[in-house]
Copies of this chain bind each other. A is one copy, B any other.
Amino acid sequence: MSKHMPPAHPFDFDALSGDAGDDKLHEECGVFGVIGVTDAANFVALGLHALQHRGQEAGGIVSYDPGSGFNSARRFGYVRDNFTKQSLMETLPGALAIGHVRYSTAGSKGATQIRDVQPFFGEFSMGGAAIAHNGNITNADALRRELIERGSIFQSSSDSECIIHLMARSLQRKVPERIMDALRRVEGAFSVVSMTRTKLIGVRDPLGVRPLVIGRIGDDGWVLSSETCALDIIGAEYLRDVEPGEMVVIEHGELKSLRPFMPAKPRFCIFEHVYFSRPDSIIGGRSVYETRRQIGVELAREAPVEADLVCPVPDSGTPAAIGFAHESGIPYGMGIIRNQYMGRTFIEPTEQIRNMGVRLKLNVNRALIRGKRVILVDDSVVRGTTSRKIKEMILDAGAAEVHFRIASPPTAWPCFYGVDTPQREKLLAATMSEDEMRDHLAVDSLKFISLDGLYRAVGEATGRDASCPQYCDACFSGDYPVAPSDMIAKGFELKAAE
């Protein structure tokens, strides 16, 4: 197919097959909880809506009201389509509620069932509790085997269900102590929001891999949320992060801070800054937008190129592209237009439509691109399939040159801490060097930001501390802060010591 011609025949779209959304890493969950407000579930619905980017497959809310006890609703689909209906929200009364949004894990054996949707609830001998978990338990298989052996019945295929069973078997009477008992058995990454009849509880694992923030609302209300953008939507004020290894118990308008775990040096997920979190969130005290813009600045310094246009791959490449354009002085322009009605994947599409792939989401702004040397700024390259299609679209539209600049280092290792990653062999950077990738994508140049450059962009002026990295960057470095024991048992090979 020559560059400047549209496909000769409608069925040539096969060349574009696949789904742009498939070529990203995906956060698997967002959690949110609120206590001390009227109709708490409504606030949770709003909070989950603001966290929808962390999980689109399903959502759930549990609330507690003295009159009707614990109530829950779990639904597939978007928050806006389910948890906005008066009829549903009326079934979730009370001043205390927690919720969860969940991403569809591509690798799971079968389809998710509604029983896999969190929060999970357990009735214990001294009262019930609900929990919502963001992260991943790396010893879940072993724990599940042990619990089943002892007579627990699992209802879901979720690793998070281990937590509630460990809580049920704790010899402690009170729920916070049961949570401590349970989480001390758990390895991996967890930001947990839990509730009893009177308490809202938040816990982060000792490394603090996943985010969890604390907000205030009204005079007596407290909020726990994966990100600050969900505080903004309900008009809550950001107070601080739950610290790595901290457990907060909020009751009667007061917050109590506990430290149930052995102290450890924090290793927050650096990819939250690159892609997962919303740009309007503040995490670890840093603006995500500003970090991404700064990545673009670093990239322009590390990998300059002569060109006519800096163009983001929408929407996640936009802040870095703005930074790149500003630093390089090359004009910024929207060379690729995103179809705003492409919110979720087409369901049950016909073969023909499925083959349209990227085109359903993105269209090239031909008039702008034609004849130009174009720098495309994207957040990451996973499989490389989308990058390749975008390059083709840009060339078809008549671009003179195509230069890719990537706002993260090569993604060469899977994540085991709550991010859905393809198997290692599917990651382009696991099998190719940067030059091989450039040739594979057939672009004029391809440059990733360096790991040190990324650390500088998140404010570490001297770059990465290789002996004791400030962040979890396992997906780039293969340096896993917690050994993924279930995966190792299944044969996963860690990076050889250098």
Residues on A close to B: CB < 8 A?
5-13, 37-39, 42-43, 45-46, 49-50, 52-53, 56, 68, 78-81, 84-87, 89, 110, 114-115, 122-125, 145, 148-155, 164-165, 168-170, 216-219, 221, 229, 231-237, 278-280, 282, 287, 289-290, 293, 315, 318-319, 322, 326, 331-334, 337, 339-344, 346-353, 356, 359-360, 363-368
- Please, how many angstroms separate the alpha-carbon atoms of A481 and B341 in the complex? 33
Residue of B nearest to A38 (CB): B10
State the Cβ distance, A417 to closest chain B Cβ, in Å. Answer: 24
Do the beta carbons of A10 and B234 come within 8 Å of each other? yes
A208 to chain B, nearest CB (A): 21
A12-B235, A148-B124, A334-B322 given; A353·B287 CB < 8 A: no
With A and B bound together, what is the CA distance between A414 and B232 in angstroms? 36
Contact A282 B367 (CB under 8 A): yes
Can you give 18 A-B contacts (C-beta < 8 A)?
A6-B235, A10-B38, A84-B346, A84-B347, A84-B349, A84-B353, A86-B350, A89-B350, A125-B145, A125-B149, A153-B168, A232-B363, A232-B364, A232-B366, A233-B356, A233-B359, A319-B334, A343-B343
Contact A229 B363 (CB under 8 A): yes
Contact (Cβ within 8 A) A353 B152: no
Q: Which residues of B contact A366 (CB under 8 A)?
A: 232, 280, 282, 287
> What residues on B are CB-neighbors of A168 within 8 Å?
148, 151-153
Flag if B123 contacts A153 (CB, 8 Å): yes
Q: A148-B125, A352-B42 are in contact. Are A347 and B81 (CB under 8 A)?
A: yes
Evaluate contact between A52 and B84: CB separation under 8 angstroms.
Answer: no
Other than the known A39-B352, A229-B337, what 18 A-B pairs have Cβ atoms closer than 8 Å? A6-B237, A8-B218, A11-B38, A52-B341, A84-B348, A84-B350, A85-B347, A87-B348, A124-B148, A151-B165, A229-B363, A232-B366, A279-B337, A280-B363, A282-B366, A287-B368, A293-B333, A340-B343
State whether B315 touches A322 (Cβ < 8 A).
no
In the bound complex, residues from chain B placing their C-beta under 8 Å from that of A342 are 80
- In angstroms, Cα B80 to Cα A435, docked, is 39
B365 contacts A53, C-beta separation under 8 Å: no
Residue of B nearest to A368 (CB): B289
List of B residues within 8 angstroms of A152 by Cβ: 151-153, 168
Taking a contact as CB atoms closer than 8 A, the residue among B80, B150, B326, B363 that contacts A341 in the complex is: B80
CB nearest to A282 among chain B residues: B367
A219 to B11, CA, bound (A): 13
Q: Is the CB of B12 within 8 A of A153?
A: no
Q: How far, in angstroms, from A169 to B147 measured CA to CA in the complex?
A: 11
Residue ID in chain B nearest A288 by CB atoms: B367
Chain B residue nearest to A215 (CB atoms) is: B6
One of B56, B125, B219, B333 near A322 (C-beta < 8 A):
B333
CB distance from A297 to the nearest CB of B (A): 12
Measured CB to CB, the closest approach of chain B to A72, in angstroms, equals 9
Question: For residue A351, which residues in chain B have a CB less than 8 angstroms away from its CB?
Answer: 86
Q: Which 7 pairs across A and B sit closest by C-beta, in order of nearness? A: A287-B367, A151-B169, A7-B235, A52-B341, A343-B343, A280-B337, A6-B235
Name the distance in Å between A114's Cβ and chain B's nearest Cβ: 8
Q: Measured between C-beta atoms, what is the minimum distance from A217 to chain B in Å?
A: 6
User: For residue A153, which residues in chain B have a CB less than 8 angstroms away from its CB?
Assistant: 122-123, 152-153, 155, 164-165, 168
Which B-chain residue is minimally distant from A147 (CB atoms)? Answer: B151
- Given the interface pairs A10-B234, A115-B115, the reply to whether A367 lies near B290 with Cβ below 8 Å is yes
When C-beta atoms are compared, the residue in chain B nearest to A170 turns out to be: B151
Q: Is the CB of A218 within 8 A of B10?
A: yes
Question: Within the complex, which residue of B86, B318, B341, B365 is in contact with A49, where a contact is CB–CB below 8 Å?
Answer: B341
Chain B nearest Cβ from A465, distance in angstroms: 25
